[in-house]
Amino acid sequence: MWRTTKKYIMPVLLAVLLLSFSPVGSCSGAAATEETVTVSKKDWITLQQNNAAQAKALSESQAELSEVKKAQAESERALIEAQTLLETSTMTSEEMTKLCATLLTELNLQKAENAKLTQELKDAKAESLTASDAILKANQYLLDTREEIEAQRAEWQKREAQLERQRLEWQIASALLGYIGYEIGRHG
């Protein structure tokens, strides 16, 4: 089950990452006071389904582990009872040996199932931590990218103001030269 949901984690993270970028803005330099993240409905539904599947699988694994532990406790109790019966019973040695062997086999099967479920829980926890790390890295990347965009926006606004000053200086110089040329032509 975990291997099935695992293949959806990276595409969903990439979709969230790509959809998290807000537009830089228009050339006028108007800064938005609030940023929003847009995720397509399909990606949102996929993310919710993956989260629900992981939660369900974890819940099922925990329930199975609980059942295995109960069964193991019952098997151990039965083994103790069998050993007590062995001491007090009139059963033959052969019958008691068969009973103990059967109970030991059941106990070993329960222990193996318990070990398997414990490993599945560890794997699920590791996948969850890996996904959490990926989300933290993606978030850090978004923050770094946002800072870079803000720095570029500030640089662009500075350059735009500089060009505007330069244009104004050229207009003033052009007006002065035109006036001087007019005066020279009128008196010349």
Task: List, for residues 26-56, the tens digit of each pLDDT value.
Answer: 444 444 566 776 778 888 888 788 888 888 8
Query: Tens of pLDDT along 85-143?
Result: 767 766 577 777 888 899 899 989 999 998 998 998 888 888 888 888 888 888 899 88
What number does CATH give the domain 44-145? 1.10.287
3-state secondary structure the chain: CHHHHHHHHHHHHHHHHHHCCCCCCCCCCCCCCCCCCCCCHHHHHHHHHHHHHHHHHHHHHHHHHHHHHHHHHHHHHHHHHHHHHHHHCCCCHHHHHHHHHHHHHHHHHHHHHHHHHHHHHHHHHHHHHHHHHHHHHHHHHHHHHHHHHHHHHHHHHHHHHHHHHHHHHHHHHHHHHHHHHHHHHHHC
pTM comes to 0.33
